[in-house]
Amino acid sequence: MLGPMRVADQFRELESQLPADWADVRLALVVDDRGRAERVAALLAPLGPGQLGNRVQLTVSRQGGGLERLRSLLARIDRERIRGRLEVVTHSTAVPAAGDAPVAWPALEEAWLSAVAAMPDDWSDVYAEVELGSSDFLDPGALRLAPLNPARPDRGLAFKFRVARSFGYGASPEMTRRCLARLDEAGIKGRLQILLAQSDTKSVATQGPVWYVEGRPV
């Protein structure tokens, strides 16, 4: 963890500490001024961040221009004099060539437990995704995630779903954990990410909060 230097400088320092063969990295920016966290999420919108309170998280790939875009967006945050602490949450290495050791994937059940532990004690609703490691996992993954009512809005390798802690629309945390454990048991590899979260929501004649992603309710 670094601070209080500019976030672009923090990323350069963090990048220098990553292994030479890193492929993608999940970052968290903890904004000093909670009131400006939403602005940070808006500035980072091209990279699809998730926001929980003053914590903004995103995953960046080293390939495809993602790294250059991240540097540009962090520079914009610095120009607006927004300060915060940038952290590396996790990273993965490049897929090895034939004959090399296979890439290690984190257990999805453990990833869920870690994500829940990092959220505030009063969290109530979550919008999350599991990005699968291969298209071969789509059909068996959909079967094992079915109790979560997952969706694939972009028809990619990621299944998105909602979790409701005590009431409202979404699977329970316990069911979520069990479905992710079923993926682990079947050898289905993937990466879990919390996209959106709310704390202490109050339902009044509704099924819970409604989020809008690219103009569509989720």
Residue spans per domain, the chain: 7-93, 108-202
CATH class, domain 7-93, is: alpha beta
Sign, Cα dihedral of 88, 94, 95, 96: negative
Report helix angle 173-185 to 138-145, nearest 10. Answer: 150
Q: Would you give the DSSP letter of residue 213?
A: E
pLDDT of residue 183: 95
Report the CATH architecture of 108-202: 2-Layer Sandwich (3.30)
pLDDT of residue 127: 92
Neighbouring-strand partners of residue 188: none
Could you tell me which residues come within 8 angstroms of residue 211 by beta carbon, excluding any fewer than 6 positions away?
127, 196, 217, 218
Rounded CA separation 86/30 (Å): 6
Q: How many CA atoms lie within 13 A of 19 on its CB side?
A: 9
Decide: pTM greater than 0.85. no
Q: Cβ distance 129 to 161 under 8 Å?
A: yes
pLDDT of residue 2: 46
Ordered per-residue pLDDT tens for the chain, 218 residues: 444 689 999 999 998 888 877 888 889 999 999 999 999 999 998 888 888 899 999 888 877 777 888 999 999 999 999 999 999 988 887 655 455 455 567 899 999 999 999 888 889 999 999 988 888 888 999 999 999 999 987 777 889 999 998 887 899 999 999 999 999 999 999 999 998 888 877 766 566 677 776 667 77
pLDDT of residue 9: 92
**What are the DSSP E strand ranges found in 83-202?**
84-93, 123-132, 158-164, 190-199
Q: Other CB atoms closer than 10 Å to residue 87's CB: what's the count?
A: 17
**Fold agreement between 7-93 and 108-202:** yes
* DSSP3 helix / strand / coil % (the chain, rounded to 5): 35, 30, 35
Rounded CA separation 43/24 (Å): 20
Rounded CA separation 114/131 (Å): 17
Nearest alpha carbon to residue 34 among 48, 46, 52: 52
Rounded CA separation 116/63 (Å): 29
pLDDT of residue 78: 94
